Amino acid sequence: PQIRKMLSSGVCTSTIQLPGKVAVVTGANTGIGKETAKELARRGARVYLACRDVQKGELVAREIQMMTGNQQVLVRKLDLADTKSIRAFAKRFLEEEKHLHILINNAGVMMCPYSKTADGFEMHMGVNHLGHFLLTHLLLEKLEESAPSRVVNVSSLAHLLGRIHFHNLQGEKFYQSGLAYCHSKLANILFTQELARRLKASGSGITVYSVHPGTVNSELVRHSALMRWIWWIFSFFIKTPQQGAQTSLYCALTEGLEVLSGNHFSDCHVAWVSAQARNETVARRLWDVSCDLLGIPVDWLMMAAGPKRSLKQTTQHTLPK
Ligand X SMILES: NC(=O)C1=CN([C@@H]2O[C@H](COP(=O)(O)OP(=O)(O)OC[C@H]3O[C@@H](n4cnc5c(N)ncnc54)[C@H](OP(=O)(O)O)[C@@H]3O)[C@@H](O)[C@H]2O)C=CC1
* Residues annotated as part of the active site: 181
Site string for ligand RET, 228-257 (x = CB under 6 A): --x---x--xx-------------------
Burial of 269 (0-12, 13-18, 19+ CB in 10 A): exposed
Q: Does residue 156 interact with ligand RET by CB under 6 A?
A: yes
Asked if 237 and 3 touch (Cβ cutoff 8 Å), the reply is yes
- For residues 20 and 25, what is the distance between their CA atoms, to the nearest angstrom? 16
Q: What residues have CB less than 8 Å from 174, skipping those under 6 apart? A: 168
156 near ligand X, rule: CB under 6 A: yes
Q: Which residues pair with 26 in a beta bridge?
A: 50
237 binds, among ligand RET, ligand X, none (CB under 5 to 8 A by kind): ligand RET
Cβ atoms of 98 and 62 within 8 Å: the answer is no
Residue 105 binds to ligand RET (criterion: CB under 6 A): no
Select from ligand RET, ligand X, none the partner in contact with residue 81, using the beta carbon and a kind-dependent cut-off of 5 to 8 Å: ligand X
Mark 213-252 with x for binding to ligand X (rule: CB under 6 A) and - for no binding.
x-xx-xxx--------------------------------
Q: Coil, helix or strand for 218?
A: coil
| Rounded Cα distance, 239 and 109, in Å | 18
Residue 114 binds ligand RET (CB under 6 A): no
Instruction: Pick out residues in 2-21 that bind ligand RET (CB under 6 A).
Output: 7
Per CB under 6 A, does 204 bind ligand X? no
> How far lies 178's CA from each of 64, 105, 188, 224, 226, in Å?
33, 20, 16, 9, 11
Q: How far is the CB of 207 from ligand X (least distance, A)?
A: 20
Which stretches of the chain bind ligand X, using CB under 6 A? 26-27, 29-33, 52-53, 56, 78-81, 106-110, 127, 154, 156, 212-213, 215-216, 218-220
Which stretches of the chain bind ligand RET, using CB under 6 A? 7, 156, 158, 215, 230, 234, 237-238
